[in-house]
Every structure is written in C-alpha cells, then in structure tokens.
Amino acid sequence: MYIVPSYTLAIVFTVITMLCWGSWANTQKLAGKTWRFELFYWDYVIGILFLSLVSAFLLGSFGENGRSFFADLQQAEWDNLSNAFLGGVVFNLANILLVAAIAVAGMSVAFPVGIGIALVLGVLINYFATPYGDAVILFSGIGLITIAIILDAAAYNKLTKTIRKVSTKGILLSICAGVLMSLFYRFVASSMSSDFVNPVSGKLTPYTAVFIFAIGIFISNFIFNTIFMKKPIEGEPVTYKQYFNGGLKVHSTGFLGGIIWCIGMSLNIIAAGKAGYAISYGLGQGATLIAALWGVFIWKEFSDAPKGTNILLVLMFMCFVTGLGLVVYAGI
C-alpha cells in the first residue's frame, strides 16, 4: 500500500484535507437551491463510500510496504473493525447536525463554531491518546484558533442584531455537531496500527479503516437521515420518493460532495503516520478557515454586515492562519 514517506509530504496532505473538508459543503449550497439537505445527504454518503472503496483498491492494494487491502481485511480483529465502524456512526450523526446547521445558519457560522469546537476538543483527545510534537507550541496554536472562533461568533452576533433575527437553533446545532465531531477520529485512529510499514497483527491499515468507517456512515444513515427526513429541522417532511424523483444534476452534486470529503479523510489518515494523529487531525480541521473564506467572499453571507464586522473577520483569519502555522511547527 502507499505510505507517506516524509513529514513535509504529510503536511501537504493535511493541507489538501483542509481544502477538501472546507469546500465540500459548497456542493450542498449549490444543491440547496432546489434540493433539501436530507435528500442531498444520501448522495453525499454514497460518494464517501464509493471513494473509500476506490482508494482501498488502488492506493491500499499496491506497493511493497504494509498490507494490501484484502489481506488486511481478512486478518483484522473484531474490536478494531468495530471501532472504525463506530467512528463512522459518530461522524455521521455529527455531520448530519452540521449540514442542518449550514442550512439554518450558513457556512461562515456553522463551520467556525462546529468545526472549531471539533478541532480544539479533537486535538486534545488525540494528543493525550498518542502524544506527538511540542505540546506548548501545539496548544498555543489551538488557543489562537479558539480566539478565532470567538471572533467569528462576535461578527455573527453583530450581523444578526442589525440585519435579521435568527433563532439560536443554528448555533446549538453547530455546537452539538462540534462535540460529536471531536470524537469520531479517535475511534478510527484506535483501530489502526501506529506502524504503517509493518502493521501490528489484528490492527487495520489506513485504507481498510477508512472503508469500514465509510460503511458505518452508510448503514447508520438509514437510521439518522430517515429520522431527519420524517422530523426535519426546518420545513415539511421529505420522502424517499422525492429522492428517487431527483434529477441527475442534484444527485451528482451530492455525490461529488462525498467524494471531496473522503479524499480529505483518506489523505489525512495516511498522513497521520508521519505527522501524528493530533497534528494531522488539527490541520485537517483547519477547514474552518477555508469554509469561512467561502462563506464570506463567495456566498457573501456578511455582505450587509454593520460597520466593524470586517475588522473582526480580518482578526479571525489572522488568528486562524497563525494558529495553524504553530500546529505545523509543533511537529518539526
């Protein structure tokens, strides 16, 4: 299987993860003009499962190091398969809540609050489970990112006070999504061998772990998303008939969103072999910055904001960039 050979390349992969995780939600924004998020989400999940399988058969099955996908799957112990699967279940619930938050509050709010919380808690959880890098520098970076989250919340507060009255539903959904999102990665990481070149017997290699993780997402979606379809956050209930009546364009948009997200997940997991789980996860969840950029500059979610809001946004971006830089430096 393919294994990342250096810390530098691992950082490049985590930056690609950041771009993928911060950009996939644009597909929901595009589809959302005519397509409910509950219907979009089915195609998104199918896209994740598809890419995980392609990755397992290609990158996970060729190369001299590690174990090939089928060999790895055959020798895997049940506890490790269960952990990777449970990671998918936890992620799926968190992500459905995040997608709902995006639909209610917009990308430039849901991502900084939800993914920002996931970043801070997730780095703490993964660092204490498998310490790697300079703790002082790493947590200084996380501290700056936390300040950036607070600045974004302050900017949004100025917007909602003067432009439109928005319920706290979007914020609450984002917070719940963030707490759950901070947990899923540790389940997947615990299922894998820390040595990718000579993996421990019974443990999973990255490509198998991501595939089992994707199966957890897919199967749990029949429970979680069905509930959201029948008891939606906003609007009328939707049906499976509406989903199957959708055109190729809306279905392909959700499918593309899932592929984009899973590319990020796959690269992030294999990068962890050189960067460590805390740094790899933390940089990947810098997706908050990318999503905020999309929300501010492309979707114009703050276009009518009052005076002083732009200063808060600039400070937010500066804190994010500096914080992410410190996270990278912590592993050098």
- Kindly report which listed range (20-24, 154-158, 255-259, 293-297) carries the lowest average pLDDT score: 154-158
pLDDT given at position 170? 81
pLDDT given at position 168? 74
Q: In the predicted model, what is the mean pLDDT of residues 80-99?
A: 95
Share of the chain above pLDDT 70, in %: 95
267 pLDDT tier (thresholds 50, 70, 90): very high
What lies within 8 Å, CB to CB, of 92 at 6+ separation is: 45, 216, 217, 220, 221, 224
* Predicted confidence (pLDDT) per residue in 178-218, tens digit: 999 999 999 999 999 999 999 999 999 999 999 999 999 99
C-alpha distances (whole Å) from 258 to each of 81, 124, 126, 248, 302 are: 22, 27, 24, 15, 27
Say which residue, 8 or 33, is predicted with more confidence. 8
pLDDT given at position 161? 62
Q: In the predicted model, what is the mean pLDDT of residues 81-87?
A: 98
Of the candidates 270, 17, 9, the one whose C-alpha atom is nearest the C-alpha of residue 119 is 17
* Predicted confidence (pLDDT) per residue in 281-322, tens digit: 988 888 877 877 887 887 777 777 788 888 998 998 899 889
- 204, β-bridge pairs: 192
pLDDT given at position 138? 93
Q: In the predicted model, what is the mean pLDDT of residues 68-81?
A: 96
Say which residue, 315 or 119, is predicted with more confidence. 315
Whether 273 has a pLDDT exceeding 90, the answer reads: yes
Of 102-106, 119-123, 294-298, which one has max mean pLDDT? 119-123
Q: In the predicted model, what is the mean pLDDT of residues 70-94?
A: 97
Whether 165 has a pLDDT exceeding 60, the answer reads: no
Quote the DSSP letter at residue 219: H
Alpha-carbon span 206 to 65, nearest angstrom = 13
244 pLDDT tier (thresholds 50, 70, 90): very high
Of the candidates 98, 96, 152, 168, the one whose C-alpha atom is nearest the C-alpha of residue 295 is 152
Alpha-carbon span 299 to 304, nearest angstrom = 12
Whether 166 has a pLDDT exceeding 60, the answer reads: no
Alpha-carbon span 233 to 255, nearest angstrom = 22
Of the candidates 61, 95, 77, 135, the one whose C-alpha atom is nearest the C-alpha of residue 327 is 135
Whether 128 has a pLDDT exceeding 90, the answer reads: yes
